[in-house]
Structure 1
Amino acid sequence: MDVMSSTLAPPARIGKVGVGALGMLAAATGTLESVVAPTLPLLQRELSISPAQGALLSVVMLVTGALVAPVAGIMGDRRGGKRVLIRLMAVVSAGGLVSALAPNLPVLLAGQVLQGAMVGAMPLSFILVRKHLPPGQTQVAIGVVSGLFVGGGMLGTLIAGPIAEGLSRHWMFAIPTLVIILSTLLVHVLMPDDPPAGAATRIDWPGLVLLSGVLLTLMLVLAMAADIGSQPIAVGALVVVLAALVTGWVTVERRAASPIVDLRLLAQPAIWGSYVITFAVCAGTAVSMFLVPQLFAVSGDGYGFGAGSTDIGRYLLPGTVMAAVSGPLGGIAARRFGASTAVATGIGVLSATLVAVAFVHTEVWHLVVGKALIALASGVCVTAMVIKAATSVDHGNTGTATSLVLVVRVLGFAAGAQVSGAFLTAGTPAGTDVPAESAFVIGFVIAGAVTALSLLAVRTLSKGAKE
């Protein structure tokens, strides 16, 4: 940490109080983010929407988040993390209130689009954590904030249904939104202002527009990848558009006086290595997130359990708990043993568990334990990657580096989910809707292999700057 940053930094005690407010905000946003998924059947029934419209409702916030996160991180680096965070949370709060009051699907979709801005809160929180805490405490604080966001997601999944059924669907949006408003006020009062990292510069609007186009097109390509056999022309056209957008973006960034993303940052081994590992780990984790519930529900020839939604929720709960504690654990491991060691250990556990589940899944507890280990190892890896990205760059690029990790995380989950769906579709015999057991086995094995290959990139993490 440079001398000027150390001089301007407030006392650690103030920073810790502010981090507590950031953690409360992370938990509230995680709760609001997760209330739609478990109540989708109820929303479809009450709003008279089709399954296709329900699918749109479930992903629109994800798409918005992928677009907003890098923009928020970049703006936080240049304009000050607290200043941008407060304004972003005003947008999220407005979205939550719109969703709470929505009388129909179009209004609810508008609210979800505004809520998607919440993904940008994470890189902005990391900017503030890094500026207002000593280096030795930064890793754990980032892990705590990340873990509370996941914990909030777990809470939202558990309470959304009872609130929607006991009160109304309006309150499942309104309650976490009110907590977000309170948390934002606490952050405003308790967290010291952080000055911009450098002199004010003009925003690279062409680069920003092209980057948004790249991310949106890439998500469309991933969403349609499973249909490449039936729609090769459409998928091929999207790939061409994606290549053109990437080429245009790189060209603009090279020539821009103040690029939206400094390409020299992406060329650092510790940074691109973090992105490669994050993508592989999240893709492998997404395979388990998709296949394990399917395996619980299916009742095939000699395999599967025919479990209902309530039972599946109970079976997945230990994994959700492990995901929540993995953030703080990842921060502690990164501080004590180094990010490279934490990541390598996590990848080893994750890949071994995926392969083990492929061949050992004859009892419910096999999958429960396997899913819990996968969630724990994956969370440790991703948290360590965020920490490594944050501490491998100067303070002026913290938001940029960490926001791109979060975007890569979204892309990895999207890719893993699409590949899993393709495996089950290809492995379902004609005339039946029950996939062959071999489809699950192949999916888990490939996920384990892809995750294990990311170990090749771990050695690049030691080449970044350290705090």
Structure 2
Amino acid sequence: MIVLCGCGVTVSLMHTLVVPLLPEISRMMGLSQDAASWLLTVTMLAGAVCAPVAGRLGDMIGKRKVLAVALGLMTAGSMLGAMSGSFALLLVARMLQGAAFGVLPLGISILKDELPAERIMAGTATMSSTLGVGGAIGLPLAGVIAQLMSWHAVFWAATGASLVMLVLVLVVVPESPVRSGGRFDAVGAVGLATSLVALLLAISQGSRWGWTSVPTLGLFGGAVVVFVLWSAHQARVRSPLVDLRTSTQPVVLLTNLATTLVGVGMFASFMLTPLQLQAATATGYGFGVSVMVAGVCMIPMGLGMLVFSPVSARLSARHGAHITLLTGALIMFCGNVGESLLPGDLVVLLCVMMSLSIGSALCFSAMPTLIMNWVPVTETASANSLNALLRTIGTSTCAAIGGTFLAAFTIDVGGRPVASSTGFVLTYWIAAGASLAAAALAVAVTVVVRRAGGRLAEVTELDGDTEVDLVA
């Protein structure tokens, strides 16, 4: 469990480590801000495309094998980034780093297969929280290394961490005996990748291109058309990339929808709080601290998710994961409302951030448990990968909304335009609304579970026959 959680932290680090490096990379390579932002976008796209593919392959041929391949790609990408001197090579490096995003759902599925029954909830809760931990510590860590040495040193550090985790996985983590077999659906993989790339490109670039521009609307429309065709293909093929019959079960479907909303509710604070901390005090909402201090202030938020993961596991064991999800979503709602008030005291702001980390920990620990208790044991990796993908869509949507509002509402400070408080407030209220909607979906999940007798149906495949065990 320690090794797999270390893998989760390392992978989540890859998504944020380049953020504090963008100004220096832009200056050294003569890039515009829009061009440099592709170092973030390409990582997100690669992760979204590779996660469901890795999940399906893990279910088919072995989760440990695919996990090792993903870590190998991340190691290669980190090393390429450390040695790259051109923007093109750096883009390829970031793409390879993003391809390892499937490590998180694969790790959760391995824990489900290998841990004793009484430790599964705690293990999956801790593993799920590593996304927030890595995201919170990645910014200050990369900033410190870059400030003391160079941005190349950040990629060398990532190479070392990736290589260590790859060796530990090969030495410590056993191969899961649970396999689904079947044939890989290459057509389905291409269709899903095409739809996701179109959707996420439209979401991430819409604020720059214009939400009503031809490229943005064309990508949104293309994503819908391809998704409809992909769904029809998945319903016909014998071994689909994503089993839509399983994914449309009420509990699984509602949980996945809640995942997207929770992603919106969580990411607003991850995105806006560092900006608020660094903004000049003349703005009326900023604290005027350095990038490093702002990063240090984010660390408690990430560690809070890790600390409260065992608490969420105990809550799920006693009352059910659906109650944990509901509780977490309501706490996130309160935290986002608190953030929308733009606290002027740093201690108060840190307390509000901690409440958001607690709510996020409860939600993200409950969702894999709900998913895995309602899908066949041979499909846990692909089901968790789909859930992780929807989380990415949620965070990307929040980033697009926040970026649009911050650019739309500005004030003049020191002779230059900066984001006004209006953009922050509107984004936090949207995050609060998303959290409240996630709570409503959790209520719906609770109704479905209680109609099933207050129990969760765990479906397992035995010799081709489906056996349903009712687990208290």
Please give the range of the TM-score, normalised by the shorter of the 2 chains.
0.7 to 0.9
Q: 1:111 to 1:360 in 2, by over 3 A?
A: closer
Per the alignment, residue 16 of structure 1 pairs with none
Q: 1:300 to 1:161 in 2, by over 3 A?
A: closer
Number of aligned residues: 448
Instruction: Give 1:349 shift.
Output: 1.1
Tell whether 2:431 aligns with 1:447.
yes
Instruction: Give 1:399 shift.
Output: 0.7
Q: 1:186 to 1:359 in 2, by over 3 A?
A: closer
TM-score, normalised via structure 1 length: 0.88
Tell whether the 8 Å contact from 1:28 to 1:149 is kept in structure 2 after alignment: no
Tell whether the 8 Å contact from 1:32 to 1:177 is kept in structure 2 after alignment: no
Which of the numbers 35, 59, 71 marks the counterpart of 1:77?
59
Per the alignment, residue 111 of structure 1 pairs with 93
Q: Distance in 1 between matches of 2:145 and 2:283?
A: 38
Tell whether the 8 Å contact from 1:273 to 1:460 is kept in structure 2 after alignment: yes
Q: 1:332 to 1:95 in 2, by over 3 A?
A: farther
Per the alignment, residue 462 of structure 2 pairs with none
Which range is displaced more, 188-197 or 255-264? 188-197
Per the alignment, residue 402 of structure 2 pairs with 420
Which of the numbers 349, 352, 357 marks the counterpart of 2:339?
357
Q: Structure 1: state its 5+ residue gaps.
A: 1-18
Which of the numbers 294, 298, 309 marks the counterpart of 1:316?
298
Task: State the one-letter code of the partner of 1:388.
Answer: L
Tell whether 2:82 aligns with 1:90.
no
Query: 1:158-169 alignment to 2 at 5 Å?
Result: 158-169=140-151
Tell whether 2:118 aligns with 1:129.
no
Q: Distance in 2 between matches of 1:119 and 1:88?
A: 8
Tell whether 2:381 aligns with 1:389.
no
Per the alignment, residue 238 of structure 2 pairs with 257
**Structure 1, residues 87-106: CA drift from partner, whole Å, max 9, x if none?**
22222221121112112221
Per the alignment, residue 458 of structure 1 pairs with 442
**More strand by proportion, 1 or 2?**
2
Which of the numbers 207, 214, 239 marks the counterpart of 2:195?
214
Query: 1:329-408 alignment to 2 at 5 Å?
Result: 329-359=311-341, 361-408=343-390
Which of the numbers 272, 280, 298 marks the counterpart of 2:261?
280
Aligned to 2:124, the other structure's residue is in SS state helix
Q: Distance in 2 between matches of 1:153 and 1:162?
A: 15
Q: Structure 2: state its 5+ residue gaps.
A: 450-455, 459-470
**Structure 1, residues 404-459: CA drift from partner, whole Å, max 9, x if none?**
11111111011111112222333336997244434433332232122112222113
**Structure 1, residues 349-380: CA drift from partner, whole Å, max 9, x if none?**
11112123323623233322212211221232
Q: Distance in 1 between matches of 2:403 and 2:318?
A: 39
Q: Distance in 2 between matches of 1:432 and 1:411?
A: 33
Instruction: Give 1:277 shift.
Output: 1.1
Tell whether the 8 Å contact from 1:424 to 1:435 is kept in structure 2 after alignment: yes
Q: Distance in 1 between matches of 2:215 and 2:158?
A: 40
Aligned to 2:31, the other structure's residue is in SS state coil
Tell whether the 8 Å contact from 1:326 to 1:377 is kept in structure 2 after alignment: no
Tell whether the 8 Å contact from 1:285 to 1:374 is kept in structure 2 after alignment: yes
Per the alignment, residue 82 of structure 2 pairs with 100
Tell whether the 8 Å contact from 1:77 to 1:127 is kept in structure 2 after alignment: no
**Structure 1, residues 321-373: CA drift from partner, whole Å, max 9, x if none?**
32343444433432343211111111111111212332362323332221221
Q: 1:28 to 1:306 in 2, by over 3 A?
A: closer
Q: 1:159 to 1:436 in 2, by over 3 A?
A: closer
Q: Distance in 2 between matches of 1:280 and 1:48?
A: 37
Q: Distance in 2 between matches of 1:383 and 1:229?
A: 36
Q: Distance in 2 between matches of 1:156 and 1:227?
A: 26
Tell whether the 8 Å contact from 1:29 to 1:176 is kept in structure 2 after alignment: no
Which range is displaced more, 209-218 or 354-363? 354-363
Tell whether the 8 Å contact from 1:143 to 1:328 is kept in structure 2 after alignment: yes
Tell whether 2:169 aligns with 1:187.
yes
Aligned to 2:439, the other structure's residue is in SS state helix
Q: Percent identity?
A: 27
Q: 1:301 to 1:197 in 2, by over 3 A?
A: closer
Q: Distance in 1 between matches of 2:331 and 2:134?
A: 25
Per the alignment, residue 133 of structure 2 pairs with 151
Tell whether the 8 Å contact from 1:334 to 1:342 is kept in structure 2 after alignment: yes
Instruction: Give 1:159 shift.
Output: 3.0
Q: 1:162 to 1:458 in 2, by over 3 A?
A: closer
Q: Distance in 1 between matches of 2:354 and 2:164?
A: 33
Q: Distance in 1 between matches of 2:395 and 2:409?
A: 21
Q: Distance in 1 between matches of 2:420 and 2:9?
A: 39
Instruction: Give 1:118 shift.
Output: 1.6
Query: 1:429-440 alignment to 2 at 5 Å?
Result: 433-440=417-424
Which of the numbers 270, 276, 299 marks the counterpart of 1:289?
270
Per the alignment, residue 12 of structure 1 pairs with none
Which range is displaced more, 385-394 or 66-75? 385-394
TM-score, normalised via structure 2 length: 0.87
Q: Distance in 2 between matches of 1:404 and 1:217?
A: 17
Aligned to 2:241, the other structure's residue is in SS state coil
Aligned to 1:433, the other structure's residue is in SS state strand
Q: 1:33 to 1:304 in 2, by over 3 A?
A: closer
Cα RMSD after superposing both structures: 2.5
Q: Distance in 2 between matches of 1:420 and 1:141?
A: 33
Query: 1:220-239 alignment to 2 at 5 Å?
Result: 220-226=201-207, 231-239=212-220
Q: Distance in 1 between matches of 2:129 and 2:29?
A: 33
Q: 1:78 to 1:155 in 2, by over 3 A?
A: same
Per the alignment, residue 6 of structure 1 pairs with none
Aligned to 1:195, the other structure's residue is in SS state coil
